[in-house]
Chains A and B, each alone.
Chain A
């Protein structure tokens, strides 16, 4: 009850999702958008930030309402809160930062269907006070972001030879310009994202033995 704002217990809410309870690599949630938006780094980052914002606020709202929500329609209530927040964010972006909203376009819908959101609302916000719920939202959003950014980094670098749209692999290396290098076309397709996530899961479990199932 009277925990300080950044007590050890609260900080754990922020840091656990980055590693031992990562929403993507450990809970395997939110895979759909992780495959869809990571062909380039920029949309991956924009998506990650949007999910983090929506998740944190949805967590707070559901946590504030948690003692009033009728049990039988709680999933519907959660969905309405998420959908309303996403539409709100989209409208505000369209009015004030139009170019960012263009980047987001298709991903807005994907936020609503992202199972991390429903998962956190159901598993955490319904049973906790607003402040821990907010931290849990930020933490899980960050855990999701880390994976998206890693995957986006490798896919854009090896798939297009650029990062954030800037050329990293020199033009003169390419076969078409008399060099020896070609982009890996597989990298820009979703199956390769799944393979990259698989490799991340493998590396993470090598380093953190506790995660290995018996």
Chain B
């Protein structure tokens, strides 16, 4: 079973069309991985789907890096 970090990175790579090796914890979706505003919306939807959670818009806006996504998912899955 993959851990949360691996699952998040896999989704990011798939959604943004980049190799998984390029997806680092510190990678910014927009600045490092070439995402635009629509990509980031879709990425959040994919995370919601994968982890069966709902990320409110005001929270989603704060998720701009891979690590922030991992942190958010980890925090909300453990509840």
A and B assemble together? no
Residues of B participating in the A interface, judged by any CB pair closer than 8 Å: none
Residues of A participating in the B interface, judged by any CB pair closer than 8 Å: none
